[in-house]
Structures are given as structure tokens and as C-alpha cells.
Amino acid sequence: MSNITESLQRLIELAGARSAALVDSSSGMVLSHAGSDANLEITAAANTELVRAQLKSLGTLGSKDVIDDILITLTTQYDIVRPLATNPSIFLYLAMDKNKSNLAMARYKVAECEKQLEL
């Protein structure tokens, strides 16, 4: 039973959260989202580029490693990107206001959410 909407809703309730989304990294398109970030589509595409570049780098190195998560600290916000273990071409994305949020807590919550997610 798909629980995407509830999961994203739980993420958006975190202190400082701006927007949460489920993104398909093969196309860069948003499958589902919560929150009110006007630039969500755009930043989702930006992070898709990031995930693709990281996967390509891992491939070039011949590494068997899988991406657990990627945290990007920007000037005014944190981005948390977490590919799903069950389907690594899809990732959870959470954007947070840097001043109001606890990155470590958010990272933990995103990990928890990803484990419970059913598409």
C-alpha cells in the first residue's frame, strides 16, 4: 500500500523544512511532493544531475558502493538527497532552511522515511 503522501507529509513537518519530494533521477521529474517551494521542479532537476554525476563517478572507479545519502549545504538551505534502497534510480529530496533546521535530525528522519516508503 503506497504511503508516499504520508511520508512526505511527515518530512515537511520537520522544523525548517521547505519542501519534500520523490524524484526520478533518470528523468529528473518529480513523482510526488509536499511543501511550498516554488523552485522545487528546478532544484529536483539540479539534484538529479548531482546523483547522476555521483553514480557515474562510482561506475568509473569500479566501486560496488551504493549512495546512502548526499547532503548539500548551500548559502541559505540544506538539501538532503537519499536514493531508495529498493529502487536507486528514485530519490527522496528534502530542502530545509539552514537557520531553522537541524541537519543531523533531518538526515535521520529522511533515512527512517526511506526505509518505510512503499511505492
Partner 1 sequence: MSFESRLTGGLRRKKEKEPERPDYSEPDFSSWAAKLDDFIPAAKAAPATGAATSVAEAEVPVEADVLVEASAPAAVVPVEAPAVAPAADDRPSLEEVLKQLLSFDGAMCVAVVDSESGMILGHAGSGVDIELAAAGASVILRARLGSIKALGGEEQIDDVLISLTSQVQIIHPLPRNPSIFTYLIGDKAKSSLAMARYKAAEADLLIQL
d(CA 38, CA 27): 19
| Shortest distance, position 103 Cβ to partner 1, whole Å | 9
Quick check: helix, strand or coil at residue 77?
strand
**Do residues 77 and 20 make contact, with C-beta atoms less than 8 angstroms apart?**
no
DSSP state of 95: E
Type of residue numbered 116: Q
Q: How far is the CB of 76 from partner 1 (least distance, A)?
A: 7
Q: Does 85 bind partner 1 (CB under 8 A)?
A: no
Instruction: Give the residue, chosen from 36, 73, 99, 118, that forms a contact with partner 1 under the rule CB under 8 A.
Output: 73
Point out which residues bind partner 1 (CB under 8 A).
Answer: 39, 42-43, 45-47, 49-50, 52-54, 56-58, 60-61, 63-77, 104
